[in-house]
Amino acid sequence: MFSSGNITEKLRVAEFDCRGEVVVDMYAGIGYFTLPFLVHGRARTVHACEWNPVAVEGLRRGLVLNGVREQCVIHQGDCREVCPAGVADRVNLGLIPSSEGGWAAACAALRRDRGGWLHVHGNVSWKHGNQITGTERNPWEVGEKREVGKGEVERREKEKEEGAVSSELRRKKAKTHWAEYVVARVGRLLKEGNPLGEGWRWDVRVGRVVTVKSYAPFVDHVVVDVECRPTTASTE
Protein backbone atom coordinates (compact mmCIF):
# COMPACT_ATOMS: atom_id res chain seq x y z
CA MET A 1 0.00 0.00 0.00
CA PHE A 2 2.72 2.45 0.98
CA SER A 3 5.10 1.67 -1.88
CA SER A 4 6.16 4.85 -3.66
CA GLY A 5 5.54 3.00 -6.92
CA ASN A 6 1.80 3.05 -6.24
CA ILE A 7 1.60 6.83 -6.52
CA THR A 8 0.95 6.70 -10.27
CA GLU A 9 -2.22 4.67 -9.75
CA LYS A 10 -3.31 6.90 -6.87
CA LEU A 11 -2.93 9.94 -9.13
CA ARG A 12 -4.79 8.17 -11.94
CA VAL A 13 -7.71 7.43 -9.61
CA ALA A 14 -7.71 11.07 -8.53
CA GLU A 15 -8.30 12.06 -12.17
CA PHE A 16 -11.45 9.93 -12.55
CA ASP A 17 -14.67 11.90 -12.87
CA CYS A 18 -16.88 10.09 -10.35
CA ARG A 19 -19.47 12.80 -9.82
CA GLY A 20 -22.82 11.19 -9.02
CA GLU A 21 -21.24 7.73 -8.83
CA VAL A 22 -21.31 5.12 -6.11
CA VAL A 23 -17.91 3.44 -5.70
CA VAL A 24 -17.03 0.25 -3.84
CA ASP A 25 -13.46 -0.04 -2.58
CA MET A 26 -13.01 -3.74 -1.87
CA TYR A 27 -9.70 -3.47 0.00
CA ALA A 28 -9.85 0.01 1.49
CA GLY A 29 -7.09 -0.14 4.10
CA ILE A 30 -6.58 3.35 5.53
CA GLY A 31 -8.07 4.94 2.42
CA TYR A 32 -5.23 4.95 -0.10
CA PHE A 33 -7.77 4.85 -2.95
CA THR A 34 -10.96 5.64 -1.03
CA LEU A 35 -9.84 9.20 -0.29
CA PRO A 36 -8.85 10.08 -3.90
CA PHE A 37 -12.21 8.75 -5.12
CA LEU A 38 -13.98 11.08 -2.68
CA VAL A 39 -11.75 14.15 -2.47
CA HIS A 40 -10.62 14.44 -6.09
CA GLY A 41 -12.96 12.16 -8.04
CA ARG A 42 -15.98 13.67 -6.27
CA ALA A 43 -17.75 10.33 -5.88
CA ARG A 44 -21.19 10.66 -4.33
CA THR A 45 -20.63 7.69 -2.02
CA VAL A 46 -17.83 5.22 -1.42
CA HIS A 47 -18.51 1.88 0.26
CA ALA A 48 -15.18 0.98 1.88
CA CYS A 49 -14.62 -2.67 2.82
CA GLU A 50 -11.83 -3.44 5.30
CA TRP A 51 -11.38 -6.18 7.88
CA ASN A 52 -8.38 -4.82 9.82
CA PRO A 53 -9.70 -2.79 12.79
CA VAL A 54 -6.51 -0.72 13.01
CA ALA A 55 -6.79 0.21 9.33
CA VAL A 56 -10.49 1.02 9.78
CA GLU A 57 -9.62 3.49 12.55
CA GLY A 58 -7.01 5.09 10.29
CA LEU A 59 -9.59 5.30 7.50
CA ARG A 60 -12.10 7.01 9.79
CA ARG A 61 -9.53 9.60 10.82
CA GLY A 62 -8.53 10.27 7.23
CA LEU A 63 -12.16 10.75 6.20
CA VAL A 64 -12.73 13.26 9.00
CA LEU A 65 -9.53 15.19 8.26
CA ASN A 66 -10.50 15.47 4.59
CA GLY A 67 -14.09 16.47 5.33
CA VAL A 68 -15.67 13.50 3.55
CA ARG A 69 -16.80 11.29 6.45
CA GLU A 70 -20.48 11.57 5.50
CA GLN A 71 -19.84 10.33 1.96
CA CYS A 72 -18.22 7.07 3.04
CA VAL A 73 -19.92 3.94 4.35
CA ILE A 74 -17.45 1.62 6.08
CA HIS A 75 -18.14 -2.12 5.96
CA GLN A 76 -15.82 -3.79 8.46
CA GLY A 77 -15.16 -7.43 7.71
CA ASP A 78 -14.27 -9.75 4.84
CA CYS A 79 -15.20 -7.97 1.60
CA ARG A 80 -16.54 -11.24 0.20
CA GLU A 81 -19.15 -11.19 2.96
CA VAL A 82 -19.83 -7.50 3.71
CA CYS A 83 -19.66 -5.95 0.23
CA PRO A 84 -23.04 -4.45 -0.76
CA ALA A 85 -24.74 -5.84 -3.88
CA GLY A 86 -26.24 -4.03 -6.85
CA VAL A 87 -25.09 -0.53 -5.89
CA ALA A 88 -21.83 0.27 -7.68
CA ASP A 89 -20.96 2.30 -10.74
CA ARG A 90 -17.32 1.48 -10.10
CA VAL A 91 -15.49 -1.15 -8.04
CA ASN A 92 -11.84 -0.92 -7.06
CA LEU A 93 -9.92 -4.15 -6.33
CA GLY A 94 -6.58 -2.82 -5.14
CA LEU A 95 -4.99 -5.98 -3.77
CA ILE A 96 -1.80 -7.73 -4.91
CA PRO A 97 -0.44 -10.25 -5.67
CA SER A 98 -4.03 -11.19 -6.58
CA SER A 99 -7.47 -9.69 -6.04
CA GLU A 100 -9.25 -12.65 -7.63
CA GLY A 101 -10.75 -13.75 -4.33
CA GLY A 102 -12.93 -10.65 -4.43
CA TRP A 103 -14.00 -10.77 -8.09
CA ALA A 104 -17.30 -12.54 -7.47
CA ALA A 105 -18.37 -10.04 -4.81
CA ALA A 106 -17.22 -7.17 -7.04
CA CYS A 107 -19.35 -8.44 -9.92
CA ALA A 108 -22.35 -8.76 -7.61
CA ALA A 109 -21.76 -5.18 -6.43
CA LEU A 110 -22.33 -3.68 -9.90
CA ARG A 111 -25.64 -2.05 -10.72
CA ARG A 112 -27.84 -4.21 -12.92
CA ASP A 113 -29.52 -1.33 -14.71
CA ARG A 114 -26.36 0.20 -16.19
CA GLY A 115 -23.35 -1.78 -14.97
CA GLY A 116 -20.06 -0.01 -14.46
CA TRP A 117 -16.30 -0.42 -14.16
CA LEU A 118 -14.04 -2.86 -12.34
CA HIS A 119 -10.46 -1.74 -11.66
CA VAL A 120 -8.72 -5.09 -11.17
CA HIS A 121 -5.21 -5.22 -9.68
CA GLY A 122 -2.86 -8.17 -9.96
CA ASN A 123 0.75 -9.25 -10.36
CA VAL A 124 1.64 -10.49 -13.84
CA SER A 125 4.69 -12.67 -14.47
CA TRP A 126 6.26 -12.37 -17.90
CA LYS A 127 9.32 -14.63 -17.57
CA HIS A 128 9.29 -17.35 -20.21
CA GLY A 129 12.30 -19.48 -20.98
CA ASN A 130 15.93 -18.63 -20.40
CA GLN A 131 16.51 -14.90 -20.06
CA ILE A 132 20.25 -15.27 -20.72
CA THR A 133 20.97 -14.70 -24.41
CA GLY A 134 24.45 -16.25 -24.38
CA THR A 135 26.72 -18.47 -22.32
CA GLU A 136 30.00 -16.62 -22.87
CA ARG A 137 31.62 -14.76 -20.02
CA ASN A 138 31.79 -10.98 -19.98
CA PRO A 139 35.17 -10.19 -21.64
CA TRP A 140 35.58 -7.19 -19.33
CA GLU A 141 35.46 -9.30 -16.15
CA VAL A 142 38.49 -9.02 -13.88
CA GLY A 143 41.20 -11.40 -15.04
CA GLU A 144 39.91 -11.70 -18.63
CA LYS A 145 42.70 -10.99 -21.11
CA ARG A 146 41.02 -11.88 -24.41
CA GLU A 147 40.98 -9.17 -27.06
CA VAL A 148 37.56 -8.26 -28.40
CA GLY A 149 37.36 -6.81 -31.88
CA LYS A 150 34.94 -4.20 -33.18
CA GLY A 151 32.82 -6.85 -34.89
CA GLU A 152 32.46 -8.81 -31.66
CA VAL A 153 31.40 -5.70 -29.76
CA GLU A 154 28.81 -4.85 -32.40
CA ARG A 155 27.48 -8.41 -32.33
CA ARG A 156 27.09 -8.30 -28.57
CA GLU A 157 25.35 -4.94 -28.71
CA LYS A 158 22.95 -6.26 -31.33
CA GLU A 159 22.17 -9.32 -29.19
CA LYS A 160 21.54 -7.05 -26.23
CA GLU A 161 19.14 -4.86 -28.22
CA GLU A 162 17.31 -7.88 -29.62
CA GLY A 163 17.04 -9.35 -26.13
CA ALA A 164 15.53 -6.12 -24.82
CA VAL A 165 12.96 -6.07 -27.62
CA SER A 166 12.12 -9.73 -27.03
CA SER A 167 11.67 -9.10 -23.30
CA GLU A 168 9.35 -6.17 -23.92
CA LEU A 169 7.27 -8.25 -26.32
CA ARG A 170 6.95 -11.03 -23.74
CA ARG A 171 5.99 -8.45 -21.14
CA LYS A 172 3.28 -6.96 -23.33
CA LYS A 173 1.97 -10.38 -24.36
CA ALA A 174 1.71 -11.54 -20.73
CA LYS A 175 -0.32 -8.48 -19.78
CA THR A 176 -2.62 -8.92 -22.76
CA HIS A 177 -3.23 -12.57 -21.86
CA TRP A 178 -3.93 -11.65 -18.24
CA ALA A 179 -6.41 -8.95 -19.27
CA GLU A 180 -8.17 -11.46 -21.53
CA TYR A 181 -8.36 -13.92 -18.64
CA VAL A 182 -9.84 -11.25 -16.35
CA VAL A 183 -12.52 -10.36 -18.91
CA ALA A 184 -13.45 -14.01 -19.50
CA ARG A 185 -13.60 -14.75 -15.78
CA VAL A 186 -15.59 -11.62 -14.97
CA GLY A 187 -18.05 -12.47 -17.74
CA ARG A 188 -18.72 -15.86 -16.18
CA LEU A 189 -19.03 -14.42 -12.68
CA LEU A 190 -21.50 -11.78 -13.83
CA LYS A 191 -23.61 -14.40 -15.55
CA GLU A 192 -23.64 -16.55 -12.41
CA GLY A 193 -23.74 -13.97 -9.62
CA ASN A 194 -25.42 -10.91 -11.13
CA PRO A 195 -27.89 -12.30 -13.67
CA LEU A 196 -29.95 -10.00 -15.86
CA GLY A 197 -33.51 -10.43 -17.02
CA GLU A 198 -34.56 -12.54 -19.98
CA GLY A 199 -33.26 -11.18 -23.27
CA TRP A 200 -30.33 -9.40 -21.63
CA ARG A 201 -26.65 -10.24 -21.21
CA TRP A 202 -23.49 -8.63 -19.89
CA ASP A 203 -21.09 -7.04 -22.38
CA VAL A 204 -17.61 -7.18 -20.80
CA ARG A 205 -14.54 -5.62 -22.37
CA VAL A 206 -11.10 -4.21 -21.54
CA GLY A 207 -10.94 -0.45 -21.30
CA ARG A 208 -7.28 -0.01 -20.43
CA VAL A 209 -4.32 -1.98 -19.10
CA VAL A 210 -1.99 0.03 -16.85
CA THR A 211 1.39 -0.92 -15.40
CA VAL A 212 1.68 0.48 -11.88
CA LYS A 213 5.22 -0.65 -11.08
CA SER A 214 7.77 -3.43 -11.32
CA TYR A 215 7.02 -5.67 -8.34
CA ALA A 216 9.92 -8.12 -8.69
CA PRO A 217 12.19 -9.42 -11.47
CA PHE A 218 9.91 -10.36 -14.38
CA VAL A 219 6.79 -9.49 -12.34
CA ASP A 220 4.72 -6.32 -12.83
CA HIS A 221 1.90 -4.87 -10.75
CA VAL A 222 -0.84 -4.26 -13.33
CA VAL A 223 -4.36 -2.83 -13.31
CA VAL A 224 -6.94 -3.67 -15.95
CA ASP A 225 -10.01 -1.45 -16.28
CA VAL A 226 -12.94 -3.69 -17.19
CA GLU A 227 -16.17 -2.17 -18.49
CA CYS A 228 -19.30 -4.21 -17.77
CA ARG A 229 -22.59 -3.12 -19.37
CA PRO A 230 -25.98 -4.80 -19.69
CA THR A 231 -27.15 -5.14 -23.28
CA THR A 232 -29.87 -6.98 -25.15
CA ALA A 233 -28.93 -10.52 -26.09
CA SER A 234 -29.48 -9.78 -29.78
CA THR A 235 -26.92 -6.93 -29.79
CA GLU A 236 -23.65 -7.85 -31.48
Domains of the chain, earliest start first: 4-128+179-232 (3.40.50.150)
Residue 157 — very low, low, confident or very high, per pLDDT cuts 50/70/90?
low
Beta carbons within 8 Å of 35's beta carbon, 6+ residues apart: 62, 63, 66, 68
Q: Specify the pTM.
A: 0.82
Is the pLDDT assigned to residue 167 strictly greater than 90?
no
- Which residue blocks in 33-149 are alpha helix, DSSP H? 34-39, 53-65, 79-82, 103-109
- Cα distances from 77 to residues 29, 74, 88, 121, in angstroms, run 11, 9, 18, 20
**What is the mean pLDDT of the segment spanning 107-132?**
85
- Reported as a single tens digit per residue, the pLDDT across 169-196 is 999 999 999 999 999 999 999 999 888 8
CA gap 208, 218 in Å, rounded: 21
Under 8 Å between Cβ of 102 and 95: yes
**What is the mean pLDDT of the segment spanning 213-230?**
96
- Reported as a single tens digit per residue, the pLDDT across 66-100 is 999 999 999 999 999 999 999 999 999 999 999 99
Beta carbons within 8 Å of 54's beta carbon, 6+ residues apart: none
